[in-house]
Structure 1
């Protein structure tokens, strides 16, 4: 009986050793975070045609990738700055007082932070939040961005009117229209209270540009504009 017991012990030990040798699963990449309180205009500027975006140490976590700042009032290319090892950044972007900007962190693998939408007001020490007068009842889902993996892909997003009144919208439009994105519908529309509109975005053959911003805008007495970042993953 002894040889059998030895065999069983060897078998159990082999299983235990095999379990110990299993390769650990790779840790999924961490989504970048942008801390709004640590992003400022950095004080008075000599150049009135530019707006400074100063991220203090710790503004970006983890401190990798790049920061992209898009002036939502123009068709200029986004400004780009590499994130420093301490999570800081410093960037000048063409713009003026009253312009709204979208600030995003893009990690090396293509993951993006939740954007920071701000307006350069009269203050030289802080930004104002982007105006969203219908924030409580006009919903865009997803709220911030659509990611695409390659040409031929179509992604949908929803516009929902939970306001007590009917809302009229301009035709959805692209900020630059230089990337290969197409939108449906291409005309204005109206949403009754509780109604939902589905907007489809199609990615065609990729060109040099891989990003754009799509605007959903109301008309009438209350004007609300929602930017949605469209981007192709690397």
Structure 2
């Protein structure tokens, strides 16, 4: 039996189950510095020039930008090795621009800025403490001829009723349809609505678009929700 005891001791020392290694932590992309704009007010059709200094973007390959006041497709610009970037986008002074840093399927929190010359200021966010809407909505993939859907809650806890005048896509996008709460509508304090988006593939590659929720009371503002299908180009 001595040989069995020796075998058990040896196995206890070297026959243990190796632990499954933890997957490496991936730091999410981030917009970490000022975005500087250059606007030519007297130039006919000149684009807005946006730049980020070294270190303004971290852990990202590209910067994605969309003019929320226009209908043009988004612009994608590479991030340099030092974390800087430069891009041109159609728009005018005062337009609201949405920017996002990306690396593969990883995305930073979208940042909304007001177009101007010099460092761009964040877009105003009235009632941010009592009416907050998710800034992105991922739609599940769907096969041709099928559909998928997902929803964003429209809940508010402000002291006064919330009047939503319009819920619509920023630009035509036949693959997306908006359902759920129909505008115009008034949400009483403590009540909730729902923005449900249905995705139906049209044959072309799925693109990103933005749904705009426009509010007229108790203050005038809007919320923007980026719609996308993960993995789509």
> Normalized against structure 2, the TM-score is what?
0.86
Task: Map Cα deviations across residues 26-82 of structure 1 (whole Å, 9 max, x no partner).
Answer: 2254321111x33212x57595632121111122221x3211111011100111101
2:36 matched to which residue of 1? 40
Superposition pairs for residues 139-178 of structure 1, below 5 Å? Answer: 139-140=132-133, 143-151=134-142, 152-178=147-173
The farther-off stretch of 67-76 and 78-87 is 78-87
Structure 2: gaps of 5 or more residues: none
Per-residue deviation, 1:163? 1.8
Per-residue deviation, 1:91? 0.5
1:232 matched to which residue of 2? 229
Query: Matched residues in 1 for 2:92 and 2:206: separation?
Result: 25
Query: Matched residues in 2 for 1:81 and 1:47: separation?
Result: 23
CA contact (8 A) 1:179 1:208 kept: no
Runs of 4+ with deviation above 6 angstroms:
none
1:7 matched to which residue of 2? 7
Query: Matched residues in 2 for 1:126 and 1:147: separation?
Result: 30
Query: Matched residues in 2 for 1:136 and 1:148: separation?
Result: 27
Residue 180 of structure 1 is aligned with which of 175, 180, 183? 175
**2:78 aligned with 1:87:** no
- Between the two proteins, the alignment pairs up a number of residues equal to 223
CA contact (8 A) 1:75 1:175 kept: yes
Task: Map Cα deviations across residues 93-134 of structure 1 (whole Å, 9 max, x no partner).
Answer: 1111111100011221x221111101023xx22112212222
> Normalized against structure 1, the TM-score is what?
0.86
2:190 matched to which residue of 1? 194
Task: Map Cα deviations across residues 214-234 of structure 1 (whole Å, 9 max, x no partner).
Answer: 111112462110001111111
**2:101 aligned with 1:105:** yes
Query: Matched residues in 1 for 2:210 and 2:21: separation?
Result: 39
Per-residue deviation, 1:179? 5.1
Query: Matched residues in 2 for 1:85 and 1:47: separation?
Result: 32
Query: Matched residues in 1 for 2:84 and 2:127: separation?
Result: 33
CA contact (8 A) 2:61 2:101 kept: yes
Structure 1: gaps of 5 or more residues: none
CA contact (8 A) 1:134 1:224 kept: no
Query: Matched residues in 1 for 2:20 and 2:130: separation?
Result: 49
Residue 135 of structure 1 is aligned with which of 128, 131, 143? 128
